[in-house]
Amino acid sequence: MNEFVAVIGGLFTLVAAFFAWKLKTASDDATRKLAIEKERRDEIKLLYENTFILFEQAIRQVKQREQFSLGCEFSQTNAKMHLVAPKPIADQYLVAASLLEDWSQLHAKASPRQIDIGGQTATLIQSPDPTAPFKEPEKKAHESLLVELQKLTQLMREDLAAYA
């Protein structure tokens, strides 16, 4: 009889150890899965923040007629958008980036020419204005860019809300 109780006790110990191991493995898997999801959410959030900042900087550079210096950043964002972002957001990003390029070219054509005279910048104003044919298309292109950026921002917000 003592042998029977010892066998039952040993089996109970083995079963208890097995269930403890299974519970620990399930807990570790759940923790690992949560960590991966958080890492992905943080990566997406950072990408979206950097994308918004990049467009803001690009628009500012174009308006202030600065030398465009964001080519490398746009290349990195293009790659990340195609690799990480959902397809609708990546597609909308491409629409906005294309409109930014179109608008920047029109903005340059619609702006009066500037020259450097002894370290000072002078704006040349001519009559008739050679930039006049480009002013209305530039304005429409800028408005289209802003509309598409709002769509991109809304899509990014919706995607971030899905991770919450």
Could you read off the pLDDT of 74-119 as tens digits, one per residue? 999 999 999 999 999 999 999 999 999 999 999 888 877 776 777 7
Around Cβ 153, how many Cβ atoms within 10 Å?
Answer: 16
For residue 70, tell me if it sits in a domain: yes
State the Cα–Cα distance between residues 9 and 25, nearest whole angstrom: 24
For residue 1, tell me if it sits in a domain: no
For residue 6, tell me if it sits in a domain: no
User: pLDDT tens, 36-51?
Assistant: 888 989 999 999 999 9
- pLDDT for 113 equals 73
For residue 41, tell me if it sits in a domain: yes
- Residue that the structure tokens 């909308």 belong to: 92
For residue 153, tell me if it sits in a domain: yes
Q: For the chain, what is the mean pLDDT?
A: 86
For residue 134, tell me if it sits in a domain: yes
How many structural domains is the chain composed of?
1
Amino acid in position 52: F
Range of lowest pLDDT (52-56, 121-125, 150-154): 121-125
For residue 31, tell me if it sits in a domain: no
For residue 115, tell me if it sits in a domain: yes
Peptide bond before residue 137 is cis, with ω within 30 degrees of 0: no
Percentage above 90 pLDDT, the chain = 49
Domain that holds residue 102: 37-163
128 has a pLDDT exceeding 90 = no
DSSP one-letter code for 116: E
pTM for this predicted structure:
0.77
- pLDDT for 32 equals 86
